[in-house]
Amino acid sequence: MRVLHLTSSFPREEGDHVAPFLLDLARAQRELGLEVAVLAPHDRGVPRAADLRGVGVHRFRYAPDRWERLSYRGGLLGRSRTPGGLLLLPVFFAAFTVSALRLSRRWKPDVLHAHWWLPAGLCAVLPSRVLGVPLVVTLHGTDVHLLRHGLVRVVARAVLRRAALVAVVSEDLQRLVVGALGLDPASVVVLRMPVDRVANPSPTQREGPARLVAAGRLSVEKGFDVLLQAMALAVQQGADLHLDLIGSGPEQDR
């Protein structure tokens, strides 16, 4: 079986911090005997085609190098809020859709797997319908929170109703999607991303404050500002805590 992953974020090289869980997923599928390829946006200095641990990665262009800023630099949602990013969005969607159609015709996948309903799920609808290839759409979180907006819900419902399978990565996201779109709970399944399990984990006994670690892209939709507010409240109430915040992004200075 051939699976073509469509995503707006994917590691640009070994050890890249951008969506490493998708490379883990592709590796896990290869180990099960599937043939796997990935279509993702290009970024300056990155080859158009590459092999990452046996996974073929194809990058689509949507602008000259210096204008390709929508992915990998704070996330698509954050970058699209800028005037230049807003102007690039239609070009990005068109390039993604056309590239997905061309690659699907050439590589002939048995399944299209789109990560995040927007943009990948939306851009996968046309290739899926034209070529008759089943579409799986996995929602990872930021795309679920877009459903608070009425017009966005209309588009999301249209995309997800054309999917053979709608997946989310947690029960909480499942509840939010079903509530926002009025879908049958049985039609939205929880498919977690693969992680390396720690054998027999045990709590660490230590003196001093409880140590917390938060890691991720420092952008508005990740909610690290809420975490910092919660830390302040907890400390004011006498909790002995220490937080290490790890990441980079547009909210880093703030």
Contact 157, 147 (CB under 8 A): no
Read off the pLDDT of residues 49-89 as tens digits, 9 standing for 90 and up.
Answer: 999 988 999 999 999 998 998 888 766 776 777 777 788 99
How far does Cα 164 stand from its chain's mean position?
Answer: 19
* Host H or E run for residue 86: helix 83-107
- What is the pLDDT, as a whole number, of residue 142? 87
Considering the chain, what percentage of its residues have pLDDT values greater than 90?
Answer: 70
Task: Give the least confident one: 80-89, 119-128, 228-237.
Answer: 80-89
Stated pTM of the model:
0.87
CA dist 236 and 158 (Å) reads 47
CA dist 190 and 59 (Å) reads 28
Task: Give the least confident one: 3-7, 25-29, 156-160, 205-209.
Answer: 205-209
| Residue 168 backbone dihedrals phi, psi, to 5 degrees | -130, 165
CA dist 211 and 203 (Å) reads 12
- Find the mean pLDDT for residues 229-254: 93
Tokens at 244, concatenated: 């290490």
CA dist 170 and 125 (Å) reads 24
Read off the pLDDT of residues 169-215 as tens digits, 9 standing for 90 and up.
Answer: 999 999 999 999 998 888 999 999 866 677 777 777 778 899 999 99
Q: 176 by DSSP, 3-state: which? A: helix
pLDDT category, 239, cuts 50, 70, 90? very high
- Find the mean pLDDT for residues 239-249: 92
pLDDT at residue 107 above 90? yes
- What is the pLDDT, as a whole number, of residue 110? 98
Task: Give the least confident one: 35-49, 60-74, 136-150.
Answer: 60-74
- Find the mean pLDDT for residues 9-15: 93
The rounded mean pLDDT for the chain is 92
Tokens at 39, concatenated: 């279509």
Considering the chain, what percentage of its residues have pLDDT values greater than 70?
Answer: 97
